[in-house]
Amino acid sequence: MTLFYGTELASRLMLGTAQYPSPEILTDAVRRAGAGVVTVSLRREAAHARAGQSFWELIRALGVPVLPNTAGCHTAREAVTTAQMAREVFGTNWIKLEVIGESDTLQPDMFALVEAARILTEDGFNVFPYMTEDLVGAERLLRAGCEVLMPWGAPIGSGKGLNNLFGLRALRAHFPDVPMVVDAGIGVPSHAAQAMELGYDAVLINTAVARAGDPAQMARAFAMAVEAGRMAYLADPMEERDMAVPSTPVIGQAVL
Amino acid sequence: MAEQTAFSPAAGPSVLVRGAGVSGLTAAVTLAERGARVHVHEHGARVGSGASWYAGGMLAPWCEAESATREVTEQSLSSLDWWDAHVPGVTRNGTLVLAPARDVREVARFGRRTSHFSTIGEAGITELEPDLADRFSTGLFFAGEGHVNPRDALAALAARLVDLGGRITFDVPRTAGTGGYDWVVDCTGIAARDQMADMRGVRGEMLLLRCPDVTLHRPVRMLHPRIPIYIVPRADHVYMVGATMIESENAGPMTLRSMAEMLGAVYALHPAFGEAEILETGTGLRPSFPDNMPAVRREGRHIHINGMYRHGFLLSPVRAADAADIVFGNG
């Protein structure tokens, strides 16, 4: 059982809610995915005077735990303010903390991330930090009070899959007891299965589902892949070898 | 167009149309053509005081299939002809879809989701839009599409309605009574939000530029994974650039971020846009239902045409016909 700040999720697939062709298709995708969490971004212009109310009500009506995020924030201060608005709007202490440091790769700013995580944790938030797979950064985030880590697979929306397998393996191995979610960069279900086979506790997908030709069907495909990957991890996969090992024993075979 | 009227005006049903945006005026004209006595109440001081004023006016049934359901394309195929028959200035030069070199895969994706286009290379792009020569290696050309200036089109529809014997009254308070008519057709867009629990507003921001240095003959859609834009030519080297899609009901002024992103994309289309004058920025709320599909809903003798989302000019003629079928007993 994996607990995210004391909560067990109904599914290890987390789904973002942006970029769908319509709220109806989003709802369909969330249902078919059986998503354990939905993330929602709080844009400034929507937060102002609660102008995003209608869309947020649609999100709440999904009946799935909501993880608000600070997407689009470029400074710690901006992220902290957005997190505080999100807590007010959604009535949850959970926050996916995103502080963008570079505009081409949308790479997280690890320094601002640690700073914002410390402020928010002290303020009673449960922070899910969107981070690179950096081991030292992970250590600092844990020290800042994070109990969950969310390393990227690849840049947001790139669909490149797990760019740094070595780094993700190392991160998993270094912090075996910390719930970890691969967030961002996953393009197809096999990428999600791969993350789960590595022992990650969940994956977070948005673009790969929302921008698919048939988002609901893609959501289902991801749900199956996440389940397959998790089962494979628990089943203790075989080790890779450089030489063939016959699956049929040679010794004792009849010589014809 | 009185010869299209089946019976004398006095014999037709009386209809109050609320709202003189694209939904209201297409409905009013369609009803009047079928013989209804139409009176339009407009809350604002002119036609199109809501989201219609900020529309792109692209009549692009096939391009819309990139993000909309198949129904949008199927239902809107007739709308280009409808506009051509009802207002002057419909341009049928097609649509050009392009992407900056590093996002050229977006063109392939757009092509997979759509139909009725030809894939063209540098020579083809230059032939269509000489000013874009040497700037793009591949694009999609949707020859069958068109565009119209929404503000001129609304004014033309209003004039046509008056020709048909209809009336428009401006500056009518929202609380004005609707009694005394056979039918009420409510086309008030986002203002009907309180009456429709499943309606939400989707914020859209647009810009008008004047750029004598660039000539374009048709709408150009610039694809980008994060900031797709379209640029629609109006008369006299004026260009409409649109539009953001934000799940927010804040109708306040355009943000710097949206403007910077949109202008960056325009600049990428042609650097000469750097010299363009910014004539206007605008923000509107697209009235939208959960499936983002425009709907006709009836309660007794009260009909709502609403939820145009981003398909006002594309689908309002079709919804107007659906509403008229109800009024004339065919629906």
B310 touches chain A (CB under 8 A): no
The distance of A76 to chain B (nearest Cα, Å) reads: 18
Shortest distance, CA A102 to any CA of chain B (angstroms): 15
Same domain, B219 and B163: no
Question: What pLDDT score does B5 carry?
Answer: 43
Q: Of B186, B200, B185, nearest to B15 (Cα)?
A: B185
Q: Does B194 touch chain A (CB under 8 A)?
A: no
CATH number at residue B112: 3.30.9.10
Kindly list the distances between the CA atom of residue A226 and the CA atoms of A27, B77, B282, in Å, as whole numbers in the listed order. 19, 41, 44
Mean pLDDT across A173-190: 95
Nearest residue of B to residue A72, measured between CA atoms = B257
Strand partners, A182: A203
Structure confidence at residue A246 (pLDDT): 73
Residues B157 and B283 in one domain: no
In a domain, B79, yes or no: no
Question: Which residues in chain B have Cβ-Cβ distances shorter than 8 Å to A49?
Answer: 250
For A119, A246, A250, the CA distances from A243, given in Å and listed in that order, are 52, 10, 15
- 8 Å CB contact of B292 and A21: yes
CB contact under 8 A, B246 and A22: no
CB contact under 8 A, B200 and A55: yes
In a domain? residue B66: no
Please give the span between the terminal C-alpha atoms of chain B, in angstroms, as a whole number: 24
Nearest chain B residue to A18, by CA: B247
Residue type, A194: Q
Is the CB of A55 less than 8 angstroms away from the CB of B112? no
DSSP state of B240: E
pLDDT value at residue A53: 81
In a domain, B59, yes or no: no
The pLDDT of residue A44 is: 61
Task: Give the CATH number, domain containing residue B181.
Answer: 3.50.50.60
Share of chain A above pLDDT 70, in %: 94
A48 touches chain B (CB under 8 A): yes
Tell me: do B128 and B229 sit in the same domain: yes
Which residues fall within 8 angstroms of residue B284, CB to CB, at 6 or more apart? Answer: B50, B51, B53, B54, B203, B204, B206, B251
Residue B180 contacts A where some CB pair is shorter than 8 Å: no
- Enumerate the residues of chain A whose CB falls inside 8 A of the CB of residue B226: 157
Contact call for A24 and B290, based on CB within 8 A: yes
Q: Is A103 on the interface with B (CB under 8 A)?
A: no
The confidence score (pLDDT) of residue B103 equals 87
Q: Do B168 and B194 lie in a common domain?
A: yes
The overall pTM is greater than 0.80: yes
Q: Is B331 helix (H, G, I), strand (E, B) or coil?
A: coil
Closest Cα in chain B, distance from residue A234 (Å): 37
Instruction: Examine the domain organization and report whether B191 and B280 are in the same domain.
Output: no
Q: Do B27 and B135 sit in the same domain of this protein?
A: no
**Contact criterion met (CB < 8 Å) for B248 and A213:** no
Whole-angstrom Cα distance, residue B117 to residue B124?
Answer: 13
Q: Domain of residue B306: give its range.
A: 14-54+149-199+290-327
Provide the pLDDT for residue A252.
Answer: 66
Instruction: Please tell me which of the candidates B69, B200, B203 has its beta carbon nearest to residue A45.
Output: B203
Looking at the 3D structure of chain B, how many domains does it have? Answer: 2
List of chain B residues whose C-beta atoms are within 8 Å of the C-beta of residue A51: 203, 248-250
CA pair distance B188, B193, nearest whole angstrom: 9
Q: When comparing pLDDT for B230 and A242, which is higher?
A: B230
Taking residues A200-226, report their average pLDDT.
96
Residues 66-85 of A with CB under 8 A from B: none
* B252 to A45: CB separation less than 8 angstroms, yes or no: yes
Is residue B204 located within the same domain as residue B135? yes
**Residues of chain B contacting residue A157, judged by C-beta atoms under 8 Å apart:** 225-226
Residue A185 among known ligand-binding residues: yes
Give the helix/strand (H/E) hosting B313: helix B312-327
Does B32 map to a domain?
yes
Residues B273 and B249 in one domain: yes
Per-residue pLDDT reduced to its tens digit, B18-57? 999 999 999 999 999 999 999 999 999 999 989 999 999 9
For residue A48, give the chain B residue with the closest CA: B250
In whole angstroms, give the CA distance from residue A97 to residue A127: 6
- pLDDT tens by residue, chain B, 331 residues: 444 444 454 579 999 999 999 999 999 999 999 999 999 999 999 999 899 999 999 999 999 999 888 889 999 999 999 999 999 999 999 999 999 888 888 999 999 999 999 999 999 999 999 999 989 999 999 999 999 999 999 999 999 999 999 999 999 998 888 889 999 999 999 999 999 999 999 999 999 999 999 999 999 999 987 788 999 999 999 999 998 999 889 999 999 989 999 999 999 999 999 999 999 999 999 999 999 999 999 999 999 999 999 999 999 999 999 999 999 986 5
Categorize the per-residue pLDDT at A48 as very low, low, confident or very high, splitting at 50, 70 and 90.
low
**CB contacts, 8 Å: B290 with chain A:** 22-24, 27, 58
Q: Per 3-state DSSP, what percentage of chain A is helix, strand, and coil (rounded to 5)?
A: 40, 15, 40
Place of tokens 């097609």: B94
**Does residue A174 belong to the interface with chain B, where contact is any CB pair within 8 Å?**
no
Domain map of chain A by residue range? 9-235
Nearest of B96, B105, B143, B140 to residue B269 by alpha carbon? B96
Indicate yes or no: CB of A54 within 8 angstroms of CB of B252.
no
Q: Provide the number of CB pairs (under 8 Å) joining chain A to chain B.
A: 60
Residue B313 in any domain: the answer is yes
Are B217 and B315 within one domain?
Answer: no
Catalytic residues of A: 96
Note the CATH number of domain A9-235: 3.20.20.70
Q: Which helix (H) or strand (E) holds B319?
A: helix B312-327
Per DSSP bridges, beta strands B295-299 and A7-8 are: unpaired
* B22 neighbors B313 (Cβ within 8 angstroms): yes
| CA B53 centroid distance within chain | 9
Structure tokens at A251: 């010794």
Query: How far apart, in whole angstroms, are the C-alpha atoms of residue B216 and residue B211?
Result: 10
Alpha-carbon span B217 to B260, nearest angstrom: 25
- Same domain assignment for residues B227 and B116: yes
Q: Would you state the torsion angle of the CA atoms of residues A21, A25, A30, A34, taken in this order, to the nearest 10 degrees?
A: -140
Torsional sign, CA B125, B129, B130, B135? negative
Put simply, whether B290 touches A (Cβ < 8 Å) is yes
Are the beta carbons of A45 and B246 separated by less than 8 Å?
A: yes
Q: Is residue B61 part of a domain?
A: no
The whole-angstrom distance between A46's CA and the closest CA on chain B is 5
> Is residue B204 included in any domain, yes or no?
yes
Same domain, B191 and B107: no
Question: A81-103 burial, b if ≥16 CB within 10 A, otherwise e?
Answer: bbbebbbebbeeebbbbbbbbee
**Residue A207 labelled as part of a binding site:** yes
